[in-house]
Amino acid sequence: MKKVISLMIASVIITALFTACGAQDTPKAYPNTHTLYYRDSAKSTKAVATFFNSNSGESADVEMEKLGEDSDSVTFSCEGDCSRYNMVYVTCDDQDEKINRFSKVAFNPCISGWYKTEDDLLPYTVGEEIEYVHDYEDLTLSGFDFDKKIHIWTPDDYDPTSKEKYATVYVLDGQSFIFLGENGQELKGCPVVDEQVKAMTAATGEKAIVVAIESAGARDYEMVPDIGESFDEKMHETMVGGSYDDNFSEDYMNGSEFAEFIAKTLVPYIQEHYNVYTDALHTSITGASLGGLQCFFDAMEYPEVFGTCGAMSASFWEYDDDTWRAYLGEKSFDAESPVLYFFAGSDGNSDTGTLVKEMVSRLKDTGYPEDKIVLHLSEEGLHDSTIWRNVYSEFLAAMVYRQVAPLQKEEAK
């Protein structure tokens, strides 16, 4: 009898441990349909949603239903096939001429709604008061003798003692990707990551907190990892002669040190002080441009820490093909490797799409699991924060569902 009781207790303990770290979790099934909500401050009388697949070009028009009107706007909605289409634009009162690359936004199960103001198109959480200035807890941590400022957002209903844990989204260039409303920052063009995560929770039930890491002034050093023999020479050429002198390496972390700081100092701190999962499956990192390069490196170096990486318009030009292949060739990839979401404009003159496509080819050549790679190359993409905002929820879908179904279906063809 004692042996049976001991086995039962052990089973309960193991189950509790697995629940805390998320080890029992399996990916959520990617839905076939999703409801699109669209708030229009111009109070149009008619709205048509055009859903399309950015890879295949396949599209479908759906007339939206008017749900109601308030003093601020009118709200429309319709159902769309999110297993087939990953993007959408809305034409109001037949005004086709108003549709441009900035009007085209992501459509996936992590979207709650889109809000069309007079001069912007913003994600919003359906059923909630629209507010883009949120409360943050500010934190300063030291790494390699340098102080890093961190902004931490938790949902309004965050419960530090609940049995249900929260996922964590780490954001590079955090001061630009959340709206702090400080130092002249404008809402227009800001990716408002916290609002997007809030909307994701409303749409999917998956809870998360946001950890936004401020970048130093020397981004060209702090977000370039040391992976090649030319690193010291490259950094000296980049930094000296510009705004920096020969002491730049004493004043800032380099990308390799920055990655170690995040994985070994910041992540453990967050996991100790916040009610979050401690496994890689629920820990993600994202960035754009040099931040896209850096978060990719973080995921490659610390796959046991980060289960999803969202690299937008990544600056892969920092190293040549031989250097990248030598670096990736030293890695070991398997079914537990992070999900990698890449977005970039396909025009190599306007964005880094050519370089991103080359990186995806390298990864496949070195044995990276193809079902862990999500690639969105956009003909209308730019190296622009508004474009990144418009597709940001695709990264969240990759985090929640471990895939973005319409992109990977088309990629597989």
CATH code, domain carrying 158: 3.40.50.1820
The pLDDT of residue 248 is above 80 = no
Highest mean pLDDT among 135-149, 153-167, 212-226: 153-167
* Average pLDDT across the chain, whole number: 89
Say if 22 falls within a structural domain: no
Q: Are 391 and 406 in contact (CB under 8 A)?
A: no
What's the confidence (pLDDT) of residue 249? 59
- Tell me, yes or no, whether 79 and 193 share the same domain: no
What's the confidence (pLDDT) of residue 250? 56
- Tell me, yes or no, whether 167 and 85 share the same domain: no
What's the confidence (pLDDT) of residue 97? 78
**Cα four-point dihedral sign 379, 385, 282, 143:** positive
Name the residue with higher pLDDT: 365 or 21: 365
3-state secondary structure of 142: strand
Span 59-80, mean pLDDT? Answer: 96
Tokens of 259: 């990655």
What's the confidence (pLDDT) of residue 412? 42
- Tell me, yes or no, whether 246 and 113 share the same domain: no
Say if 6 falls within a structural domain: no
Q: Are 261 and 253 in contact (CB under 8 A)?
A: yes
Say if 144 falls within a structural domain: yes
Inter-CA distances, 81 with 19, 50, 86, 366, Å: 32, 11, 9, 34
As a whole number of angstroms, the distance between CA 35 and CA 108 comes to 9
Domain extent at residue 229: 137-412
What's the confidence (pLDDT) of residue 75? 98
The pLDDT of residue 387 is above 80 = yes
What's the confidence (pLDDT) of residue 269? 98
- Whose tokens are 């179904």? That residue is 405
Q: Is 304 left (phi over 0), alpha (psi -120 to 50) or beta?
A: alpha
Q: Are 290 and 237 in contact (CB under 8 A)?
A: no
State the total domains in the chain: 2
Name the residue with higher pLDDT: 19 or 130: 130
Q: What is the pLDDT of residues 262-294, one digit of tens each?
A: 999 999 999 999 999 999 999 999 999 999 999
Span 108-130, mean pLDDT? Answer: 95
- Segment (H or E) for 411: helix 405-412
Q: Which of 94, 124, 154 is the last residue of a domain?
A: 124
The pLDDT of residue 12 is above 60 = no
As a whole number of angstroms, the distance between CA 230 and CA 355 comes to 19
